[in-house]
Structure 1
Amino acid sequence: MQKSGGIDEDIRHRIKCGWLKWRKVSGVLCDKRIPMRLKGKFYKTVMRLAMMYGSECWTVDNKVEQRMSVVEMRMLRWMSGMTRKDRIRNEHIRGSIGVASIADKMRENRLRWFGHVMRKEESEAVRTVVQMNVEGRRDRGRPKNRWRDVNECNMRTADVSVEDVGDHVKWKFRIRVANPK
């Protein structure tokens, strides 16, 4: 986290890590003889994890989600041998590879971690959430999103509430983002 409370430097670093992993295995991922589903599994276990490391505590806004989605789609298009000129929708490419959107997966990670934090002892959970909401000086304009605000939005999207956290199995089932078939 930066002094201003932003995460731009961390996002940039995570994207670089993803591309570094990509370069190491691009010979395999760009090979036309390898099935797309296998490439997708490899992508999910190597590149995506490198890019999303630590995303549980990011205060994500649309700009961050857009940057991560652009990087993901560049990798997926390159992997599938398609370009933007082919005019094939992102959803179709994700479906053929079997990969869910990185923005949805980041939301799932944040909610999973939120559930974990809330199931801790009460004092530990409150202390952790308070640490995540530390803000520096106030700038003009709209206030920066806090981690708690982002999670409230994520919970509305996933249609879960804080009361659901206690039932671990239900919580895990409700926040899960399925990969397209």
Structure 2
Amino acid sequence: MKICKTVLRPILLYGAETWALMRKEEGLLERTEMRMVRWIAGISLLQGRDSQGIRRMCGICNVQEKAKEDRLRYYGHVIRREEVEPIKRAKNMPVMGRRSVGRQRIRWMDVVRRDMGEVGWREEDSMNRNRWRKLTRAADRAMQ
């Protein structure tokens, strides 16, 4: 499982802090990781073991939780930056024009707001770096 945590998961989640993941893509990530974990652990789908039980046995958390943790950790970095930094200016930049008709494409900030809403956090919480670190490390703490 050390290989899974140190090699496979970073490959799966490379750049995840900037992705605007939709539920469908999160499910694809989870299925991919579970296929690899089952292969490493030698557990066949025919054995009928559920994913949660396998994760508990192997001591790993859900890849969706890790992706959320990465996004929120990066969001904290962006919020704490100086106002003159390019990334902060790009985040706060107003976009002129109208959005297209119909359902809108999901944006990174929409995903971050969804993640923060699920756990009940506010933007002000990210200004305290130590507190934000403790809040965003929830996925690792649950498996220790």
5+ residue gaps, structure 1, are: 1-39
The answer on 1:119 being equivalent to 2:80 is: yes
1:129 to 62, 73, 91: 91
Residue in structure 2 matched with residue 41 of structure 1 by the alignment:
2
The percentage of counterpart residues that share the same residue type is 35
Out of 95, 98, 111, the residue aligned to residue 59 of structure 2 is 98
Q: Which residue number in structure 1 is paired with residue 121 of structure 2? A: 160
Q: Per-residue CA shift, 1:82-115, capped at 9, x if unaligned?
A: 1111111100101111111111100000000000
Alignment counterpart, residue 70 of structure 1, candidates 25, 31, 41 = 31
Aligned residues: 139
2:112 to 119, 127, 151: 151
Which stretches of structure 1, 4 residues or more, deviate above 3 A after TM superposition? Answer: 137-141
Distance in structure 1 (CA, Å) of the matches to 2:120 and 2:37 = 29
Please list every run of 5 or more consecutive structure 2 residues that lacks an aligned counterpart in the other structure: none
Q: With structure 1 as the length reference, what TM-score do the two structures score?
A: 0.70
The letter of the residue matching 2:60 is V
Deviations 1:131-178 (A, max 9, x none): 8x98xx966531111111100011122332100111111111111112
Conserved? CA contact 1:56–1:113, under 8 Å: yes
Higher RCO (CA 8 Å, separation ≥ 6 residues): 2
